A and B are shown apart, each in its own frame.
Chain A
Amino acid sequence: MAATDIHQTIETVFRIERARLIAGLARMLRDVGRAEELAQDALVTALTDWPKTGVPDNPGAWLMAAAKRRAIDGIRRDQMLARKHAEIGRDLEDARDTSVEAIEAALDDDLGDELLGLIFTACHPVLSAEARAALTLRLIGGLTTDEIARAFLSSEATIAQRIVRAKKTLGKARPAFEVPRGTDRRQRLASVLEVIYLIFNEGYAATAGEDLIRPALCAEAQRLGRILAGLMPDEPEVFGLLALMEIQASRLAARVGPDGSAIPLPEQNRARWDGLLIRRGLAALERTEMLGGARGPYALQAALAACHARARRAEETDWHRIAALYDTLQEVTPSPVVDLNRAVAHSMAYGPEAGLALLAEIDAAGRLRGYAPLPAARGDFLFRLGRHADARLAFEQAAALSRNEREKAFLLRRAAACG
């Protein structure tokens, strides 16, 4: 094999093993930064050794053994230094934690869920959502700082600093690098799911012509969701989020026009929806429901997405079901935007009067003032009732509030169509 080929092979093998390697090391050393360095050192060793010996049968174990040797050397050196500096007293606690014996013992442990532990650590609630996203993409996704910066339309320096600070914060918090149990678990899992969905949405918000790394975030988030589903097969909200992402991603190819503009759902060419992802999404949703998670916030949104995914034509959409799901969503995660969407769903299921009645409730509560989609929905309901003059006023009001040129033009066209 040519030198470049073997190097490419080694780097690919390393990419596959990297997250697990970091996870195992971080769990032993309680230090993600050091774990990442040691993993990188192991790659350097492999790049020297493997061209001579060939790729070992179990490359993951080989890399782990190499990293472990470096870790132990490092600790011995640190302990010697510590003694020299007569700081033994102060560091005793730490030294006991990460002694050679402790590491050897940890290695013999069943570390089956160490990757999961790393995911939970990278998504620890002591970190901001942005820091969690960057650290997750770096440690588990294997993205470079530059790639993360481009993906989040940020500068490399900003992201690098964010990651360094996140590692420092984790260093102080000293989390257990384990999958949390008991009462902590729900909140910690919510923190993980939030980050994965944040990454997905960042990719989903990307428009045509932008750096390809941005839409790739969707694939990255789906991958994380699938990993999580594989490792936590009994956690309903994991499957709820996975279902939501798979179904939303099934429309990626259909939702952008040739000029790069967004195509709204009812007008998309459904033949371009990805049937494989829809099937996977529906299967994940079924699993959520089987696990008793149908009322989870992600599961409910996935169920809404599924209603559209199941309809072969826009006219076949089950609006009664969608309206009922919004009723539940309003109870579970109340928000003015959910109220508005609920009004639209009710107008589709039970007629425009039903929609107007719900909009009146939003008005009465004094919510969504200055939010263009509210008068736009009112215009649509009025238009469908034949109240064209009132509809025109509503569309004009919506157009005046809109900050998006394309949306503004669309609303003005609708106003003009009212006659």
Chain B
Amino acid sequence: MRVMVMVKATKDSEAGIMPSPELFEAMGKFNEELVNAGIMLTGDGLKPSSQGKRVAFDGPNRTVIDGPFAETRELVAGFWIWEVKDMAEAVEWAKRCPNPMPGPSELEIRPFYEMADFADVITPELAEQEERLRVKLADR
């Protein structure tokens, strides 16, 4: 299963404080372990929300809101995408991560939707529609 592991923002990350060389090194080592275990697909860090924007929707209306955003703990400062066997494995790997922030911090693990999750959403009508389209394409 594929999961996104989000590094939650803190006051420090929102202030744009760069990680120490020690943390950089520890994080590099952890990333190497993830790669060698074959579970790391990708990952990146995000700039503070002061450099971000939001587009708010309300019916037909669109409002652009400039960062920074107030609710620091709900913001994301970075992420990985891992391929793991189950959530328990993701949790164990997350526990091995060096604390990504100088102060207390949090990782949040969220599984991706997979094809099987849509089995109930795909109605027989939708399936039939797709099948018709496919036959048409095949006969073209």
Partner of A257, one of B93, B115, B130: B130
Q: List CB contacts (< 8 Å) of A32-71 with chain B.
A: none
- A 1-32 to B, binary, CB cutoff 8 A, 1 in contact else 0: 00000001100110110000000000000000
Q: Are B127 and A224 within 8 A (Cβ)?
A: no
Interface size, chain A (Cβ < 8 Å): 30
Main secondary structure of the interface of B (DSSP, over half): helix
| Closest chain A residue to B140, Cβ basis | A267
Asked if A417 contacts B139 (CB within 8 A), the reply is yes
Excluding A13-B92, A227-B37, 10 further A-B contacts by CB distance (< 8 Å) are A12-B91, A222-B38, A226-B38, A227-B36, A227-B38, A230-B37, A257-B130, A257-B131, A276-B41, A276-B81
Q: Are B115 and A253 in contact (CB under 8 A)?
A: yes
Once the chains bind, are B35 and A230 in contact (CB under 8 Å)? yes
State how many angstroms separate the Cβ of A314 from the closest Cβ of chain B. Answer: 10
- The closest CB in chain B to the CB of A259 belongs to B131
A150 sits at the interface (CB 8 A): no
Complex CA–CA separation, A101 to B88 (angstroms): 38
Q: Contacts of B81 on A, CB cut-off 8 Å?
A: 276
Cβ-based interface call for B70 (8 A): no
Q: Which residues of B contact A225 (CB under 8 A)?
A: 38
Give Cα distance in the complex from A54 to B139, angstroms: 64
Complex interface: chain A residues within 8 A of B37 (CB): 16, 227, 230
CB distance from A367 to the nearest CB of B (A): 28
Closest to A16 in B: B92
Smallest beta-carbon distance A280→chain B, Å: 7
- On whether the beta carbons of A12 and B130 are closer than 8 Å, the reply is no
- Cα(A330)–Cα(B42), bound, Å: 35
Could you tell me which B residues sit within 8 Å of A by CB distance?
Answer: 32, 35-42, 81, 83, 85, 88-89, 91-93, 115, 122, 126-128, 130-131, 134, 137-139
Other-chain contact of A231, B36, B137, B138 (Cβ < 8 Å):
B36
Q: Are A258 and B130 in contact (CB under 8 A)?
A: yes
Kindly state the separation between the CA atoms of A120 and B137 in the bound complex, as whole angstroms: 46
Q: Report if A164 contacts B (CB, 8 A).
A: no
Give the complex CA separation of A276 and B122 in angstroms. 24
Contact B138 A257 (CB under 8 A): no
B83 partner residues in chain A, CB cutoff 8 A: 219, 222-223
**Chain B residues within 8 Å of A174, by CB:** none
Cα(A12)–Cα(B95), bound, Å? 12
Q: With contacts A8-B88, A15-B89, A258-B122 known, is A267 near B138, CB below 8 A? A: yes
- Bound Cα distance A227, B91 (Å): 20
Residues in A whose Cβ lies below 8 Å from that of B127: 258-259
A410 interface hit (Cβ, 8 Å): yes
Closest 4 CB pairs of A and B: A258-B127, A226-B38, A230-B36, A223-B38
Q: Are B89's CB and A226's CB within 8 A?
A: no
* List of A residues within 8 angstroms of B38 by Cβ: 222-227, 230
Q: Is the CB of B42 within 8 A of A276?
A: yes
**Complex interface bits, A54-90 against B, C-beta within 8 A gives 1, otherwise 0:** 0000000000000000000000000000000000000
In the complex, what residues of B have CB within 8 A of residue A267's CB?
Answer: 134, 137-138
User: Can you list 13 residue pairs at the A/B interface with Cβ under 8 Å?
Assistant: A12-B88, A12-B89, A219-B83, A222-B83, A223-B83, A258-B122, A258-B126, A259-B131, A267-B134, A276-B41, A410-B138, A413-B138, A414-B139
